[in-house]
Structure 1
Amino acid sequence: MSKTSEGATPGFLVWRLSMKWRVAVDRAVAPLGLTHAQYSLVASLYGMQRTGERPSQRRLADHTGLEPLYVSKLARSLESAGLLERAKDPRDPRAVQLALTAEGLETTRRAIGVVHGLLTQLLEPLGGLDSDRTRELSRDLTLLLDAPLDPAATGPQ
C-alpha cells in the first residue's frame, strides 16, 4: 500500500483512483483527438448503437452519469469534429438523437482498444480482467453506484 493510501478513507481512495483513471484515459485517447469525457460519450453511444438504439442526448446523459448540459456541449464538439450526428427526434421535437458517423465509429473502435489495454494494465494486480477478484470488485462498485445518496440528509444541521 502506498504512503498516500495509509489511513485513507474509502471515499478518498475512490476519488484518487477515479482521478488516476481519468488522467490515464485522457492521455491515451488524446492522439485520437478525444478527451476522457468525449471517449465516455462515444464509447457509450457505440454500445447503444450496436443494440439498435439511437439514444437522445438525455438518454445518453442518464447512461453515462454526465450532466445533460455537458453531454450537449460534448455532442456539439464531437459533431464539429465529424464524429457524430445530431438530429431531431421524430417522436419528440424537443429531443435530439445522436449517432456516430463512419469516422466516429472507426475512431471509437480504436479508442476502445486503447482503453481496454489500460484496463488490462490497471486490473493486473487483481489477477486481470477475468479474475474472481475483478468480478468481485465490479459487483462491489455496482452496489455502491446503485446506493442512493441524499446530500441534503448529511448536510449542515
Structure 2
Amino acid sequence: MFKSLFKKSDKSITLLAPLTGKVVPLEEVPDQVFSQKMMGDGVAIIPSNSTVYSPFDGEIVNVFQTKHAITLRSNEGVEILIHMGLDTVNLKGDGFDIKVSDGEKITKGSLLANFDLTKVKEAGYEVITPIILLNGDTYEINQQSLSNMVNGGNDILMEITKK
C-alpha cells in the first residue's frame, strides 16, 4: 500500500513553446544573468510575433509589476519564468499587454500576453525571451526542442522530469 506513496515519479512534463520563433540555447542570450544560468536552466526564443501562450496547465504565480515577465507553476509543480525581452523592466510596462493575473488558473495554449516587438526594439532593447526553469533543485530539463523554429502554443519546447 505504501510503496506507491514513496515511489519516485518518472513522469515527464511537456512544455509547449510560449512564443513563435527561433529557439536558441540559453548560453547565446546576451545577458550574463541568463547565459550563465544564474536564475536556472532553460532556453530562449527570438520571437517572430508578439503573442505569449501558456506552456502547460497550471496557474499564474506572479505577473511582474512592470509587465515584462510572468512566473507560472504547472499542476505538477514545475515553476518557470517567461522573461519578455532583455532589460525590458526599464520600459515600465509600456508595450506589454498582460491578459492574466496572479493566482489565475491557466490551460496549455491559452493566451498570457502580447508585447510590442517593434516598440521594444525601437527603445533599444532585445526581444529575445528566456524561458527559465526556476525550481531546478526539484526538476530538470530532460529534453529540449531540437527544432530551430517553434510555433507558440503548439510545438513542444522541452520535457521536464522530477529529480
Report TM bin, short chain.
under 0.3
TM-score (norm 1): 0.28
Greater Rg by CA: 1
Between 1 and 2, higher relative CO (CA 8 Å, sep ≥ 6) is seen in 2
TM-score (norm 2): 0.27
